[in-house]
Structure 1
Amino acid sequence: MALNIDGYTFSLDSQISRRPVRYRNRYGIEMAADLYMAISLDRSLRYPGIVVGPPHSGVKEQGPGVYAQELAKRGFVTLAFDPSYNGESGGAPRRLTSPEIFAEDFSAAVDHLGSLPFVDRDRIGSIGLCGSGGFALNAAQVDTRIKAVATAAMYDISGVKRDGWKNQGTDEQRRALLKSIAAQRWKDVDEGAPALEPTFPSEFDIEELDPVTAEFFEYYVTARGRHPRSVGAFTITSEAAHVNFGAVRHLEDIAPRPILLITGEHAHSRYFSEDVYSRAPGPKELVVVAGARHIDLYDRTDMIPFDKLEEFFLAAF
């Protein structure tokens, strides 16, 4: 799947209208998003809406657009957005990652969608892909306008430690991480600019990588999902904000609004969805897609359960 001439990793369906929109979040940052709807949509009526956030380091031209388009074909008005400081959205320094602001970005997307005269403000839901899954849940914990929240291949970024992709860090490791970030802040002060983590490489040798990194590179580095604004490098000092944030600390505040957690049978991230499912009071549903890996839930329209998503949101509204 090579990057199309329009800059997207997927083709626009002939039945669907897509137009760029701009609006601001409550921090005053200009957000860049794409609005999707059926060309045949009668704008004299009001329709349910869904906002879609990208994987951590992803952009709207990748997976979020895939979801937004497919759900627009099913009668929803959808909005796929770039997080603050990333993609075409505003904010400086670039490539900053903030769990609080990324959660706010979902609420800002709801603001914009609900401002459209053909969207029913009482029927707006959200979908978070990968890292946005944790941010979408966090936003729903405090923003009761989000009537239902779904995640796909969810990651809780605040639960990821440097000893691996699982939340296995000890308190000693956590303190060591904070100490290293503090040292990096002094380096940033002396350099006059924040240092970035490594960007995605232009090519890679799969034999030299661990399975999780190899899977991510299969999407972000190859023609399947590569995009010039999705480079993988965040400011190193951003990590401190995630350490103490706890994106899914108050899941009980989402109830009685429903949660749908979609994960893959072979997804390395599967335990994140299972953990949220075990702790959320409900209503809730866990869908495990047979044969699917983590990245397959980014763009594999033959594997992503869009029928279930449609059913879930319509029932919630």
Structure 2
Amino acid sequence: MIEKQTIQLTSQWDKVFAKSDKVNHQKVSFHNRFGIELVADSYQPKNVKEKLPAIAVSGPFGAVKEQSSGLYAQKMAEAGFLTIAFDPSFTGESAGTPRSVASMDINTEDFQAAVDYLSTQDEVDPDRIGIIGICGWGGVALNTAAIDTRIKATVTSTMYDMSRLNAKGYNDSIDEEARYQTKVSLNNQRTKDYKSGTYALAGGLPEEVPSDAPQFLKDYYAYYKTNRGYHARSVNSNDGWTVTSTLSLMNMPILQYSNEIKSPVLMIHGDKAHSLYFSQDAFKKLTGDNKELMIIKDATHTDLYDQEDKIPFAKLVNFFNEKLN
């Protein structure tokens, strides 16, 4: 029997997007295989009696379900899907200590746990389950689709390969010696953390962005640090991840087996996104004739977080309607 951790749930609507009157909303919880209790927002179309196709949503990396993933989940529920947007382990309202820790292995398990939950709900057709991964959770979604045959269709939006980024830097700019020095620094930090009994945080986004900062940093600031997307429980809106979280990300090539995904995959990315190459390269590795890369004109990385005139929700609805049929 899985022993549940005590978790505190909010009761008020505290999303960064408006509540839809077209769907029913409730908080739900479920555990992953490591015994960590995860919390999700469930969105369900109103006045539907038959079993529904279902979609689990998570991301961006460092965000919470009250941000982008919740928007995606609510929009897809309006289109007739039962959806959940969940907080990954160690973040948001989900359990797990220490806080603000990331692991590609545990986060992949989180997605599988979401499928466990959906597969056992009376309102859900267990043979019609899909997933959506946003930003860093796009890579996690592909990793999950490669291992979980219950997933019948996968969408990634503005995908990051977090393991590649942490191991090699943007555009693979970090060489072996620089990678080694990073490992030296991070392992020294482990010793400091163990001595102090606390885990140092990386610090998150700056409170002010210099005028000469890269555009993508300005874009992140505009989402996470302003009224547009700020949330009190979001890692990226506040003090960031633990410094040593980077170690596990550096050493696990998350897309190792993505070529084995047999189910349909739709990858979406903006043509103005600094991260576009992650989707382009990941797409090249996918096999079969049921894979598609959709490039959105004049869209940046963060445009696909919440800009409804840029996010191709109609395409997502058609994709899941067809592939989960």
Shift of 1:295: 0.5
Is residue 224 of structure 2 the alignment partner of residue 217 of structure 1? no
Is residue 142 of structure 2 the alignment partner of residue 142 of structure 1? no
Shift of 1:231: 3.2
Correspondence for 2:273: 267
Q: Distance in 2 between matches of 1:140 and 1:177?
A: 31
Whether the 8 Å CA contact 1:159–1:166 is kept in 2: the answer is no
Structure 1 unaligned spans of 5+: none
Shift of 1:206: 4.3
Q: Note the alpha carbon deviations across 1:98-143, whole angstroms, 9 max, x for none.
A: 1111111111111111111110111101000001001111111111
Shift of 1:210: 2.2
Q: Distance in 2 between matches of 1:231 and 1:315?
A: 35
Correspondence for 1:184: 189
Alignment of 1:125-274 (within 5 A): 125-161=130-166, 164-201=169-206, 203-232=207-236, 233-255=240-262, 257-274=263-280
SS in 1 for 2:152: coil
Once the two structures are aligned, what percentage of the paired residues are identical?
A: 42
Alignment of 1:1-317 (within 5 A): 6-42=13-49, 45-161=50-166, 164-201=169-206, 203-232=207-236, 233-255=240-262, 257-282=263-288, 283-317=290-324
Q: Distance in 2 between matches of 1:108 and 1:162?
A: 27
Whether the 8 Å CA contact 2:216–2:301 is kept in 1: the answer is no
Whether the 8 Å CA contact 2:56–2:84 is kept in 1: the answer is yes
Amino acid of the residue matched to residue 213 of structure 2?
L
Whether the 8 Å CA contact 2:258–2:286 is kept in 1: the answer is yes
Shift of 1:163: 7.2
TM-score relative to the length of structure 1: 0.94
Q: Distance in 2 between matches of 1:7 and 1:247?
A: 32
Shift of 1:166: 2.9
Shift of 1:11: 0.7
Between the two proteins, the alignment pairs up a number of residues equal to 309
Whether the 8 Å CA contact 1:161–1:169 is kept in 2: the answer is no
Structure 2 unaligned spans of 5+: 1-11
TM-score relative to the length of structure 2: 0.92
Whether the 8 Å CA contact 1:161–1:167 is kept in 2: the answer is no
RMSD: 1.4
SS in 2 for 1:160: helix
SS in 1 for 2:221: helix
Whether the 8 Å CA contact 2:152–2:323 is kept in 1: the answer is yes
Amino acid of the residue matched to residue 288 of structure 1?
I
